[in-house]
Every structure is written in C-alpha cells, then in structure tokens.
Amino acid sequence: MRAEQPFRFGLTPVFLTSDLDLLEALQRYLSVAMGTEVQLVLKRTYQEITSQLLSGLLDSAWICGFPFVSYRSELELVAVPVWRGKPTYQSYLLVGADRGDASSILDLRGDIHAFSDPDSNSGYLVTRALLAENRAKPQDFFRRTFFTYGHRNVVRAVAAGLAQSGSVDGYVWEVLSEAEPELTKLTKPAWRSERMGFPPIATSAGNAASEGIRRFQRALIDMPSDPTGRSVLGLLRLDGFATEDPSLFDSIARRVDLVRALG
C-alpha cells in the first residue's frame, strides 16, 4: 500500500448499522491511530464485501465466519471482536413473543421464515445446518423464505408478523434489546446455538504481512485505551478486539461441510 493511498476498510449493514455517529467516530479513530487516511467502504451484502476483499479492492473487511471459512486459504484473521468478555456469539431462532409452541427447529416447519444474508453464519448457515441434520432443506421445510439483508430487519419482520420465525445474530438481538426494547419485546428466541467465533475482521492472505495491516491490527487492539476508541466500542456494545486462532471458527466450518454434504 503506497503512503498516499487511503486504507480501505469494508463494512456491511448486514452486521453493522450505518449510524452516522458510529461511522464518523470509527473513521476518525482509525485515521488518527494509524496515521493515515482511512476510507470506510459500505456494501449491502457479505458477498459484495468478500469479493472486493479477495480482489484487492479492500485492505481489510469486517465479514462473517461463514465467508471466512469458505475462503480460508485466501484470507487471514486480523482481529476478532470481544463481546461480554468472549470472542464468541450465538445464533437465535426468533419467533413472535406470544408464540408458545416453539423450542426447536422442528417446531418451525411450515413457517414463513426470514433469513438475514445467504453468506451469514447466524442468519442462514446455522439454520441450514440444523435442517441438514434432519435431512431437510429450507425450500422443503418452510412454507416460504426470504432474505432481509440485515439482522435488524429479521427482528423487524418477525415483530411485524411478516415472518413467523427468523434466523438472527444473537449479539444484534441482545444489543437491540438495550437500544430498541419496544421492538425486541415483540419477539423472543425460541432456540439458541452454542457459542461460535464472532464475525471477524479479515484481510487477504497476500496482504496479511503488510505494514498497513500491522498498524490496523494494533489500532483495533488499542481501542479501549483511547477516548474515541472507547466511544466506538460503547456504540457497538463491544469490549474490544483480540487476536485469535482461526480454529475459533472450526464449528462453522463443520456446518459448511454438513450443508454441502446434503447438496
């Protein structure tokens, strides 16, 4: 990366809200901490962000565990968010708050079901894997499915009755429960997965040893010690970022293998 080029960091509203205060604080913190201009690149889907990362149009991106394991030979971890003391989160199967008959995937048969993104672990893959364990596919199990391209939109769809159930990032639902309790009280988790690697920040394998990535990683790790960094973490409800071993995402890789085996 030449010195005059901005550092390009990809984000997607599938995971991160486009809240202007958050984005401005994040860009300001990273630019100062790295000593270079940082450009935030927002795209609608994980596919768009991942393809730009793999093609070199982005220096790093906040992606999901599903594309990370799918392109494991081409990507390297930069950092993993720490939430409530751990670099992990859960997937929830969400239903309406007044629904009393649902406690497993099998209770959702025949529902109109909302997914977040086809490259989302918590918003798609986990549910696909649960169905694969029962030798079923979404198109045969649910009456209808649709993608909302945002975990908040999954919550909104279930809350409004547009979907009878949904696959959602548990972190997003828990944060929304603090920020928008009037919305989440219309829904409830019918089932929670085991803990899995939190959506990571990654870079292309060929860029992993660059000076820009080294400074970027240090800026992420140092966020709790900086006032602007702490403000960003507060808006995200995160404790910070940590370096982790890629094995943190092994359970997601096993789900990918399970779904692919079913075809």
pLDDT recorded at residue 3: 52
Within a domain: 2: no
> Same domain for 83 and 211?
yes
Residue 163, helix vs strand vs coil: coil
Question: For the chain, how many structural domains are there in total?
Answer: 2
> Same domain for 108 and 161?
yes
pLDDT recorded at residue 16: 54
Which alpha helices (H) appear in the chain, and where do they start and end?
20-34, 46-54, 65-70, 126-133, 138-141, 151-159, 170-179, 181-184, 211-221, 227-236, 250-262
User: By the 8 A CB rule, do 156 and 114 touch?
Assistant: no
Q: Cα angle vertex 46, ends 137, 211, to 5°?
A: 140
> Same domain for 147 and 186?
yes
Cα torsion for 166, 168, 174, 179, to the nearest 10°? -80
> Same domain for 163 and 209?
no
Residue 59, helix vs strand vs coil: coil
Within a domain: 260: no
> Same domain for 111 and 149?
yes
User: By the 8 A CB rule, do 214 and 79 touch?
Assistant: no
Bridge partners of 191?
Answer: 93
> Same domain for 149 and 115?
yes
DSSP assigned state of 124: I
User: By the 8 A CB rule, do 145 and 116 touch?
Assistant: no
Q: Rg for the chain (alpha carbons), in Å? A: 18
pLDDT recorded at residue 204: 96
Q: Can you give the pLDDT of all 263 residues of the chain as single tens digits?
A: 445 689 999 998 665 555 778 899 999 999 999 999 999 999 888 999 999 999 999 999 999 999 999 999 999 999 999 999 999 999 999 999 999 889 999 999 999 999 999 999 999 999 999 999 999 999 999 999 999 999 999 999 999 999 999 999 999 999 999 989 999 999 999 999 999 999 999 999 999 999 999 999 999 999 999 999 999 999 999 999 999 999 999 999 999 999 999 87
Q: What's the distance, CA 36 to chain centroid? A: 26
pLDDT recorded at residue 75: 97
Domain span holding position 165: 91-193
> Same domain for 81 and 95?
no
pLDDT recorded at residue 18: 55
Within a domain: 176: yes
Residue 36, helix vs strand vs coil: coil
Within a domain: 256: no
Within a domain: 261: no
Give the CATH number of the domain where residue 176 resides: 3.40.190.10
pTM: 0.93
Within a domain: 157: yes
Within a domain: 185: yes
